Chain A
Amino acid sequence: MDDYQTCPKCKTTKYRNPAMVLMVNTCGHALCESCVELLFAKGSGACPECKCPLRRNNFRVQLFEDPAVDKEVDIRKRILKEFNKRQEDFPTLREYNDYLEEVETIIFNLVFDIDPTNTNKMIDNYKKENKDITQKNRNRQSQEEMELEELLEAEKAQQSEKANLYVNAELEEKKQKHKAREKLIDELMFSDADAKSIVASHVQATAALAKEQPKAAAQPGVVKSSKFSSGVQIGLRGQHTNSFLPIPKQEDLPLYRYTAPVFDYDGPPPPPIEKLGKLNYFANIRAANITERAGGYTEAMSCCRALQEALGGLFYSPQLMHKTAVLATNSSTQDTDDMETT
């Protein structure tokens, strides 16, 4: 791709001599390595193109196709070492932008040799005026750089962690499948049960496993960031008020069946609520008036409740009570122990 790169002095091309390396100096004109050695045997000399004095030490390998860019980047790096104010050092964005433009102009002038005396003066002035800030900023990373570093770190950490996790999970899954299959074959070979039922139970077991798997996979899941790095929100969350949750999918669970709750009264069973009237319990109770009935209250309710309370706990044995009490005290002492040690 760089076959047409040519040394301007000896006209060697990259195509003819693949080992050729082009070098550039501060003036931004390229020379091949052997020409540099030839021309600058003494350590210093003039550039064959622009005749400006150069030192051999300053020759570097040309990075970019256009040597002018090499030169510019070189100057830029030098200047930016001095001009390293941050946005935080300015009261407004406007001033910061003006400053940036000024820096850019200085670099531009240096690259194209426009008005060198004035430019150098400006640089010197700036150096004098802003010594402190320059020093301080050199040791301080800009916010942007820090952000980037952070991102890179996070990426690295995530990658190594994730890779291991998923590889392991996949291996584990394969192993399990293999095991299950072997188990099935073994059973089919050795057990006396009906082959159909064995296969059926195997299918059930694998289905159950498959149901568990996605849960397990989801657990190590990352906390999904809710924002892109640009600050745009991901997805609908938060932003959009009329977003909807998906309709819950009906799962194939066994149907719910009602079973009456069993109460342990620790006593003789109280008469059921429907029979209270027949057994004449209401005789001792104030009948509900019309307003109370309107609210759904009947005397049977309070009567039934009173009976349950009266009978509950009649056969209660204190031994049980003792046990639980002991347990309670044990745990409380443990608690206090813990407290002391910490």
Chain B
Amino acid sequence: MKLNVDGLLVYFPYDYIYPEQFSYMLELKRALDAKGHCLLEMPSGTGKTTTLLSLIVAYMKAHPLDLTKLVYCSRTVPEIEKVMEELRKLMNYYEKEMGMEQNILGLALSSRKNLCIHPSVSKEREGKVVDGRCYSLTASFVRARHAADDAVPICDFYEGFDAHGKEFPLPPGVYNLDDLKEYGQMKRWCPYFLARHTIIHANIVVYSYHYLLDPKIAEVVSKEISKTSVVVFDEAHNIDNVCIDSMSVKITKRLLDKCSNSITILETTISNMKENDSKRLEKEYKRLVEGLRDATIARETDMALVNPVLPSEVLEEAVPGTIRTAEHFIAFLKRVVEYIKTRLRVQQVVQESPAGFLRDIHTKVCIDRKPLRFTAERLASLIRTLEISDLTDFSPLVTVSHFATLVSTYTKGFTIIIEPFEDRAPTVSNPILYFSCLDSSIAIKPVFNRFQTVVITSGTLSPLDMYPKILDFHPVIMTSFTMTLARPCILPMIVSKGNDQVAMSSRYETREDTAVIRNYGNLLVEVAAAVPDGIVCFFTSYLYLETIVSSWYDQGIIDQLQRHKLLFIETQDAAETSLALINYIKACDNGRGAVLLSVARGKVSEGIDFDHHLGRAVLMFGIPYVYTQSRILRARLEYLRDQFQIRENDFLTFDAMRHAAQCLGRCMRGKTDYGIMVLADKRFSRADKRSKLPKWIQEHLKDTNCNLSTEECVQICKRWLRQMAQPFSREDQLGISLLTLEQLQSEEMQKKIQQRAQGV
């Protein structure tokens, strides 16, 4: 249908629209008009992706000069594929309505592993190996060698792309990963480099977060994306952790040993080269003396090593004299690695600021800050000069060089923690150096600065006001949308006590209490008896899950449970978990019914949807707080408190509640779906926790359902399930939660939508 959103003609590829989708468009349009950033929360299953795409595409068509490109960042490959499907639907609709080919090019980009079509390289399983082998076939010096000697293998697909691909841009259309591969096969061009080349002029790019947030990758891939783009981060409730991970480094003893090995390799290669071909080293040396930035860095295939974020004024400076020649640099690296080794030889935990580290490295091994800053850059240049084609062995050394560069660049917002052993196994010596980023705004800052509009959206972003604080930006729009429903299809309840009136809580003091564990068990058994099909349970940690299951076993609860449903458990092993999931789905599909025990923050809670009969009820046993004794977390909390005035407890509760909401949201994936959400912990009913749940859940959480016992909960469930089991057709929804164009345009509805927009 064709909509009029605040004066903008929007083609929407479906015949019906949800009212909240329309409000979402209104808000999004405002943000685009204001050229500012925005933060939008809308429940999962209400068609966020379509809404975003159709509005932004319409805006691009209406204002081609103000908005040139859409960069859509998602988390996983399946999610990227889903976005591409929606986009294809939208473009088909445009074509049908306007009757001509649309001049819009949209494509997905993923790693080489997912895009490679080289007959042998694409067989590799591991991403790093594919990257390494691709590099060994396409690096500029390999190709130069091939020109001299035909025996040196190269990649025909890359050659094909290099010879012809650049002159012929991809014709307009929508390309997902498979389409790109097919097109590459047909033309015999490398799809990966074709895609990377095409991003520059594509209108819509869909890829993973890392291409934009990880400074090491962003530099190469996303450098040339213009300012007038809109960037969308979908499923962005964990965006701060992604930012932090992309800037943090973890160094173990094994990694350092590998570093020593690779340094020896470098050393021998240098001495070989000195004997055979000293010209090249001299050339590199001269370039470094002149302080010219590498001209070859622009060459797209040599991207394997890049510099982490450095201010440009530093990069323009010449490499300091201490590490200019190759041998000196090798000696320098040796000292750095040996120094870190000595630091790892600690008996107790050490926490240090980067400034303290720099001073110590200066006194111990006489290394100044400035050469340290150039380590990553210098190493990249050296490896390129030495023409080493197998890069996989050097990744430990690259990690250390990144660490050196980062530690000397940023003295604020980072901390160094050296732990001699893990907390769980204090007798096994396993020293690890964590260089941990505390400030999530550092990695995302360039994105906010560079692009005119950044949209952060997810099904669960509550409480909204925390994100601008921890990411340090000013949103122009910050809105949470609720779901309009024709029937109350979610039933959130807080169960605080068992039938024996013992309070249920996963508090540290009571979590080992058998009464609490038994009550949790009884709750699950009774819910399993009342609820049909699939039930998903979330625990606060793997450890807690295991202790509870073992004592349920002793108490006979497992037996009782198995009388009603089959039982599946998530483990830390990914393969095991996916097998359990497949069988869980099978059990639900054939009507046997099943219970899945899983962990908040685990794989199941993040990426897997339990729609319809796969998840009729979600039980959250306890509040999923993070492990608060972790030193990295403590350091981050302290930093947040000092820099952003966020209190420890506020952040911990925020983090716990967003994960709880994420778990609860698993069972609702659409308006025809229905599900029970049980929060089994006394503490959920407190105002500070309750108010942090997303609006669309809070709306249905009545005061009467906030302090229930097991029995009451089951009674309510039964009544509600009977109501939900009534036939429900589209006609019931029409006019309330599903609108035709006429209904949308009716005055009454417009008024309601206006009210909703202002109400938030």
List residues of chain A with CB under 8 Å of any chain B CB: 1-2, 63-66, 68-69, 72-73, 76-77, 80, 93-94, 96-105, 108, 111, 144-145, 148-149, 151-152, 155, 158, 162, 166, 217-218, 221-222, 224-225, 228-232, 234-236, 239-240, 242-247
The answer to whether A236 and B368 touch across the interface, beta carbons within 8 angstroms, is no
CB pair A231 B311 closer than 8 Å: yes
Interchain residue pairs A-B with the least CB separation, the first 5: A100-B321, A97-B321, A101-B321, A229-B411, A64-B338
How many cross-chain pairs have Cβ atoms below 8 Å apart between A and B? 150
Among A69, A149, A230, chain B packs the most CB atoms within 10 A around the CB of: A230
Contacts known (A158-B642, A246-B474); A97 close to B289, Cβ less than 8 A: yes
Determine if B345 and A247 form an interchain contact, defined as CB atoms under 8 angstroms apart. no
In the docked arrangement, what's the CA distance between A245 and B37, Å? Answer: 11
Chain B residues near A231 (CB-CB < 8 A): 311, 313
| Cβ-defined contact, A243 with B355, below 8 A | no
Residue of B nearest to A152 (CB): B355
Interface residues on B, range: 35 or more
Find chain A residues with CB under 8 A from B35 CB.
242
Instruction: Show 28 A/B contacts (Cβ-Cβ < 8 Å), sorted by A.
Output: A1-B431, A66-B334, A69-B365, A93-B317, A97-B318, A97-B324, A100-B322, A101-B328, A103-B322, A104-B328, A108-B331, A144-B368, A144-B369, A149-B359, A151-B353, A217-B645, A221-B645, A222-B642, A224-B643, A229-B410, A230-B310, A231-B313, A236-B474, A239-B449, A242-B452, A243-B36, A244-B476, A246-B478
**0/1 string, B343-365, CB within 8 A of A gives 1:** 01100000001011011001011
B452: A residues at CB distance < 8 A: 242
Q: Assess whether B449 is in contact with A217, with CB atoms less than 8 Å apart.
A: no
Q: Are A108 and B412 in contact (CB under 8 A)?
A: no
Interface membership of B647, Cβ < 8 A: yes
Is the CB–CB distance between B410 and A230 below 8 Å?
yes
Does residue B253 face the partner (Cβ distance < 8 Å to A)?
yes
The contact string, 1 if C-beta is below 8 Å from chain A, for chain B 5-18, is: 00000000000000
Tell which of B175-183, B440-448, B671-679 binds the partner. B440-448
Q: How far is the CA of A218 from the CA of B645 in the complex (A)?
A: 7
Q: Is B429 an interface residue (CB 8 A)?
A: yes
Interface residue? B463 (CB, 8 A)? no
Pick from B321, B641, B647: contact of A98, CB under 8 Å: B321
A152-B321 in contact (CB<8A): no
- Contact yes or no, B341 A64, CB < 8 A: yes
| The one of A101, A148, A152, A155 that contacts B322, using a Cβ cutoff of 8 Å | A101
Q: Give Cα distance in the complex from A186 to B562, angstroms.
A: 51
Q: Which B residues between 471 and 502 are near A, CB-CB below 8 angstroms?
A: 472-478
Please give, as numbers and ranges, the residues of chain A lying within 8 Å of B366 by CB-CB distance: 73, 76-77, 80
Residues of A within 8 A of B642 (CB): 158, 162, 222
The answer for the CA separation of A228 and B413 in the assembled complex, in Å, is: 9
From DSSP, what is the main secondary structure of chain A's interface residues?
helix
Residues of A within 8 A of B342 (CB): 63-65
Q: Which residues of chain A come closer than 8 Å to B265, judged between CB atoms?
A: none
Residues on A with beta carbons closer than 8 Å to the beta carbon of B320: 97, 100
* Bound complex: CA A97 to CA B289 (Å): 8
Most A C-beta atoms less than 10 A away, residue of B321, B325, B334: B321
- Residues of chain B contacted by A64 (CB below 8 angstroms): 338-339, 341-342
Interface flag for B468 (CB, 8 Å): yes
Chain A residue at minimum C-beta to C-beta distance from B430: A1
Residues of A within 8 A of B410 (CB): 228-230
| Complex alpha-carbon distance, A77 and B341, angstroms | 20
B198 within 8 A of A: no
Which one of A72, A229, A230, A239 contacts B331 once the chains associate, using CB atoms below 8 Å? A72
**Are A94 and B318 interface neighbours, CB within 8 A?**
yes
B69 → chain A closest CB, angstroms: 17
Within 8 Å by CB of A228, from B335, B339, B412, B647, lies B412
Please name all residues of chain A whose beta carbon is closer than 8 Å to the beta carbon of B368 when the two chains form the complex: 144
Within 8 Å of chain A (Cβ to Cβ): is B370? Answer: yes
Instruction: Let me know if B530 is at the binding interface, CB within 8 A.
Output: no
Residue in chain A with minimal CB distance to B358: A148
| Docked-complex contact B335 and A108, CB < 8 angstroms | no
Kindly state whether residue B34 has any CB partner on chain A within 8 Å.
yes
* B34 (CB) vs chain A CBs: closest residue: A244
Q: How far apart sit A228 and B364, CA to CA, in the bound complex (Å)?
A: 26
Bound complex: CA A155 to CA B253 (Å): 29
- Would you give the shortest CB distance from A301 to chain B, in whole angstroms? 40
**Contact indicator A65/B449 (Cβ below 8 Å):** no
Map CB proximity to A onto B387-424 as digits: 1 under 8 Å, 0 otherwise: 00000000000000000000001111100000000000
